[in-house]
Structures are given as C-alpha cells and as structure tokens.
Structure 1
C-alpha cells in the first residue's frame, strides 16, 4: 500500500515533530512527552461526553473520537495525540461478541478455549476489519485535520499515534473470556494445544495488523503495539508463543510505502508491555524504533538489556502522580537523566493514566519536561 503526499507526515509536516524525530533517534530541542491513556478517564470533559454512550459505541463515533483524542492535547500541551479507541475494537469489527463492563473490562460472550473454538474464530477473514473500519478511518482523518489546526496555533507539528493490542494480549482476553490475574487458561492452551494457539495468535496478528494499517493509511504518523499481559510469560515461552505474532502484526505497517516527500523510510514502530523487564532483549529483536519501559525497570538498565540502538519511552510510575510536587519533580529529573543512556527518550508513564489523576498534575508535568532543554 502506497501512502500519498497528502499523508500528515508530509502534508502536515509531522515528520518534523518532536515525537517522530525522537522515535527515529534524534534528540530534538525538547524531550517529547505524552501519556498512555491521556485521552479519557482522568478528564472531566471526557466524562461529560461519555455520560450517555458505551465505550464501544463511543469508539465508533468519528466526531466523538476526534474530540476525545484532542482533549489532552489542548489541556496538557503534550507532543502527540494517541488515538482514542480500545484494543478490542478490531475484534468487534471482525464480528466477535464482546462488551466492555464498567469496572471489569472486555468480556467475551463465547470464550475461545478449544481447537474447535479457535477454528470458529479463525474462519473469519481478517480483511473484514478493513471493510468495516470506515468509522475508524473517518475518525483518524478528522483528528489529523484538527491536529493540523492545533499545530498551526502552537507552531509545532503534533502527530497522531495509532495503536493496536498485541496478539498475545488479545488472545489472553479471548481465551480467558475477560480480564484475568494470571492468564492461566491462555498459558494452558499454549502448552496443551500449540497448533491451536499458533493459529489463534496468527489470526490475531492479521486482525491487529489490518487495524494498524487502516489507522496509518488514514493519517496516523506512528503506531504502538500494546502487549499488556506479556509479562505473565517466561522469556522462553514469550519467544515461542508471543513474539512471532507480534512481529507478524508489525509487518503490516512495515509493508506501507511512504511517499518520497516524507524524507524517511518507514512509519515509526513502538512497543509497550507491562512487566516485560525480563523480555526486553527479546522485544529488541522486533526491530523497533521505540520501546516503552514500565516503571519496574530503570531506563538505563532497560537500555543495557535492550543492547541495541533504540529510543526508550517512559517510565514514570503512575503512583507518583499522587505524590507531593517535590517528590514527583525528583522522580522526573531522575528519569530524564536515565533516559540519556538511550539514543533518544520520550517521556511517558510506566503504564496508563489512573482515572483518579488530577489533570493539573499532568499539565504541570508536561510544562516541567518542556522547561528542560534536551541538550546533547
């Protein structure tokens, strides 16, 4: 698939944004900063918009998605927008029966636990996601146009980050039927029926890959693959049962051809996983531009474990958002110092923004990052 010169990387100069430059290994004048789950639960304006709609309905309302995605950009002054959606949206587009229950998360009406269940699900053509993704593409395009307006006001390009769930995390939800503390059923299937597991994660790689392609084709300037539950796997199991499918999902983005005017060879690829400190050397083999680090590993230690030239992202403990300002400031200063060990650094949290967070704390945090020139 060929992207055109109308893509925001060219038309809106997002290739020159702090986020994209840092993703590709440069150190811009200021360290870029954005927050996972910045678009959503912590913002009162978000809660007011969502008062009458379910999460999955909201994710398929282009005008609403655009507004929610832009809210933290306007309020906090972050350097990038993250597309407002949910990792199960492509599964909804594929026709699976899933609901997001308040206080619990995604719940599937028919869990996938046997070879027969896997055969039923994988019989669905992943291209259905593309065919049914018009609301997603519309939302991305609307959002990038609004970001262009915001960029003109700010005098700095603001890119949109697309995202999808990694195949292992999606498989864990499908097999468990919903959230789980230990993902025992998913880990059991890996060992009980490796062929069924491989078929399921291969199908999910295509579903996530198509979902990422849709977002980039419509205007996203980079993508991030979220593997929320990969940390439940031992390294050897991760290498055999999760890594191949993540690689396959990312190949869908690698296959996109950028226009000559983009001045870069590919759409930047990022990966974030929770509890993946012991997996970083394996994650590095995905040939990523950015690796997100959770709060359990220091950035300088993560760089050593990655042992490759890659930009690191993170990794402020979300709990510190509730600490006294001087404690938060000291932690941020430490993280900025640790980030010097990598070729470039993008400030973020070590997980998502908690819903109880005071939005003013995030705004102040962004301002403090931007007050610290990233002199090489």
Structure 2
C-alpha cells in the first residue's frame, strides 16, 4: 500500500492486479491498449480541436478521456490507463515533439550525430518539474475513478524512444537508428542509459501520484534482431524492472525493495518473439504479447514465471461477431483458460476506425468466455 493510498477510495475491482501478481482469479481481466481515444465519439467531443499534447497537459481533460471507456463499457473494462503519450520523456529531456494530424509524431530537431547528445546529457532531468502535469492528471483521474478499477501509468521503452529521437518521427526504413547502433553504438548506449534513468524516475513518480500498475511500451523492439535486442534493448528493460522497486521503496511507496508485487509492471516488447524466454527472467510481473505469438507456445515458454497479456490481432474487431467469438474462445483456451497468469488484451492498440459497438461485443465475449 502506498503512503498516499488513504487519499483515494478503496479499490472495488482488483482483478487486474491479482492476475498480474499470478494469483488465481474467477475470470481473466480485460483492458485494451489505447482504449481511450479516437474510436470513441465522445473523445472527439472532449478534445474539441485541441492539439494532442495540449489535451494531455490539461489534467481535467486528460482524466475525462481516460475514464471515457470505463463509462462507455460500464462493468466490462477492468482498468483505466492514463491518457498520455510515450514521447513525454524526450520532451522532459529537452527535445521538442509535435503530434501532427495524419502523420503522427514529429521532432523538429532530431539527433543525427553523436555530438547531438551533449544537449541531452549536459544536465539532470527533473521529471517532477518537467512532467508535473502528468502526475496531476494521474491524481485527478484516480480520485474521479473512485475505486471503480485500477489506474495504469506507463512509459516508452528506452530503445523505442531512441528510435523516435533519432528518426524524428515514424519511419519504414529506420535508417538513422540503424546508423546509431551500427556506427555509433557507444554513443547510443549513453543516450539509452539516460533515457532509462529518466524512465525509472518517471514511473516511480506516477505511482506516487496514484498509478496502481505500470506498463513499459518497447514498441519498436521487433526492428532489432536477437543479438541487437540483447545489446540495445534488454539490458535497459532489465534495469527498469530491477531499479523501479528500489526507487519505490526509497519513496516509501512499497515495502519490498527487491521484487515489486505491490505495483505490478508489464513489459510490451512488440515483435520481439525471440526474446520471450529472456523477458520472463527480467523481473516484470507481466509480459504483453502481440498477435505473432502462439498462446500455447508462449505459456509453455514462460512456464509461470510471469503473467501473460494479450494477444488478439486488433484487426479481428473489423470482423463479424461470429469471428470475434471464435477468436476470443481460441485465444483464452490457448492461454489455458485464463484463470491464472493471464490478462486479456489486444496484440496492439485500438485503431481509429473501430466500431465502438464491436469493441463492446469483444469485451462482452471476453467476460462470457472467461467466466466459463
């Protein structure tokens, strides 16, 4: 229990937290990555033409958007995840970041040469100052949820953030990040270490603000081969898992400084199918899987070392109700029925063109099948 827990209403639905800790549950919990956002009509009403980051930085608006899916699918979603973005860490480190309509993230001044890192490493990053709005949004949302479901915080994985910081935005070629890791590997590791340091503190401060569970999004892990993942991603992900409980203990937020069961943490290394065994040894409570994994094989590989989360192909939501039912049944069966070490989710985030009614049907089927 955190030192600030008495500020908030008791948690009425702790299914997600119990599943993440490996406890047996009456049904597998379900939430959806990017569940708050563009597929819901009420999101557009609240956003009302505001810039994306302007929306994130308004705690009242961010909290309202965070809670929208919990309200829309009342009783069907077992968690809220704060409405924010993984790129707030580069912003806190001093880089300008914009979100442009239709094209996504844009860095006006990306890192292209090792000399560019001087501006990032020259001073310490005070996340409590630079990202104060994010912590206020979490506290505001936790109060508004009134204990209905747990609130998740998150951050981007170090390698994924380095991709954006070097590429300057989304890419299909990954030219610049590959230049960094193959031509300037030591400089890349310097930046990865600084990102890791900031990420640990950012996650810890989210818990202090009221987050009850955390997720690390290493979204571009699949752009690395096994050897490169082991060099440029895994060590930094492992650091987060190992250092975070100790930092939470320093802050008086957890009692066990070695293993974090009080505030579970999930790792989502999209596309890194080859690294599942290694990820199971990093200390994360849960591992989120994309749809490239065979559930039964993943269960066999992890062998109870962590809870698994996922992994329905988001495209299934475009299918018929019959298809959704079949895919949900196959998925839950593949994960052993879901009564232990399993959290239902998509294999990636929602998409803007999803029909909210079909998302609701998916959630209903998760409840029905998961309760059998």
| 8 A contact 1:62–1:142 mirrored in 2 | yes
State the Cα distance separating 1:373 from its structure 2 match: 4.8
State the Cα distance separating 1:259 from its structure 2 match: 5.2
Q: Following the alignment from structure 1 to structure 2, what is the Cα–Cα distance between the partners of residues 204 and 176?
A: 16
State the Cα distance separating 1:282 from its structure 2 match: 2.2
Match of 2:203 in 1: 212
Matches within 5 A, 1:184-223: 184-223=175-214
> Structure 1 residues 321, 6: CA separation in 2 closer, same or farther (over 3 Å shift)?
same
State the Cα distance separating 1:371 from its structure 2 match: 2.2
> Structure 1 residues 103, 251: CA separation in 2 closer, same or farther (over 3 Å shift)?
farther
Matches within 5 A, 1:70-81: 70-76=67-73, 77-81=76-80
Let me know the Cα RMSD of the aligned residues. Answer: 2.1
State the Cα distance separating 1:305 from its structure 2 match: 3.1
State the Cα distance separating 1:13 from its structure 2 match: 4.1
Match of 2:108 in 1: 109
Unpaired runs of 5+ residues, structure 1, are 152-157
Q: Following the alignment from structure 1 to structure 2, what is the Cα–Cα distance between the partners of residues 294 and 288?
A: 17
Match of 2:276 in 1: 280
Q: Following the alignment from structure 1 to structure 2, what is the Cα–Cα distance between the partners of residues 331 and 32?
A: 17
Q: 1:314 aligns with which of 288, 310, 313?
A: 310
Whether 2:299 is the aligned partner of 1:303: answer: yes
State the Cα distance separating 1:12 from its structure 2 match: 3.9
Q: Following the alignment from structure 1 to structure 2, what is the Cα–Cα distance between the partners of residues 223 and 69?
A: 15
Q: 1:28 aligns with which of 16, 25, 28?
A: 25
| 8 A contact 1:277–1:302 mirrored in 2 | no
Match of 1:254 in 2: 245
Match of 2:2 in 1: 3
State the Cα distance separating 1:303 from its structure 2 match: 2.2
Matches within 5 A, 1:142-153: 142-148=140-146, 151=148
Matched position secondary structure for 1:371: helix
Q: 1:229 aligns with which of 215, 220, 227?
A: 220
Unpaired runs of 5+ residues, structure 2, are none
State the Cα distance separating 1:7 from its structure 2 match: 5.9
Match of 2:139 in 1: 141
- Give CA-to-partner distance per residue, 1:144-198, whole Å, 9 cap, x none: 111116x2xxxxxx10011000000000011111111132321221121121011
Q: Quick check: 59-68 or 343-352, which moved more?
A: 343-352
Q: Quick check: 250-259 or 321-330, which moved more?
A: 250-259
Match of 2:174 in 1: 183
| 8 A contact 2:242–2:283 mirrored in 1 | no
Q: Following the alignment from structure 2 to structure 1, what is the Cα–Cα distance between the partners of residues 306 and 12?
A: 18
Q: Following the alignment from structure 2 to structure 1, what is the Cα–Cα distance between the partners of residues 26 and 332?
A: 14
- Give CA-to-partner distance per residue, 1:190-221, whole Å, 9 cap, x none: 12112101101001112222221121111111
Q: Quick check: 15-24 or 168-177, which moved more?
A: 15-24
| 8 A contact 1:254–1:266 mirrored in 2 | no
Q: 1:132 aligns with which of 130, 133, 138?
A: 130
Matches within 5 A, 1:85-124: 85-124=84-123
> Structure 1 residues 370, 341: CA separation in 2 closer, same or farther (over 3 Å shift)?
closer
- Give CA-to-partner distance per residue, 1:60-101, whole Å, 9 cap, x none: 100001000000011123000011100111222332111111
> Structure 1 residues 123, 3: CA separation in 2 closer, same or farther (over 3 Å shift)?
farther
Q: Where has structure 1 moved over 6 Å in runs of 4 or more?
A: none
Matched position secondary structure for 1:309: coil
State the Cα distance separating 1:285 from its structure 2 match: 2.5
Match of 2:46 in 1: 49
Q: Following the alignment from structure 1 to structure 2, what is the Cα–Cα distance between the partners of residues 282 and 231?
A: 15
State the Cα distance separating 1:260 from its structure 2 match: 6.2
Matched position secondary structure for 1:199: helix
Match of 2:231 in 1: 240
- Give CA-to-partner distance per residue, 1:237-290, whole Å, 9 cap, x none: 1111111122223345312134569xx843101011221212212222221111
- Give CA-to-partner distance per residue, 1:123-155, whole Å, 9 cap, x none: 2412x2222222111110111111116x2xxxx
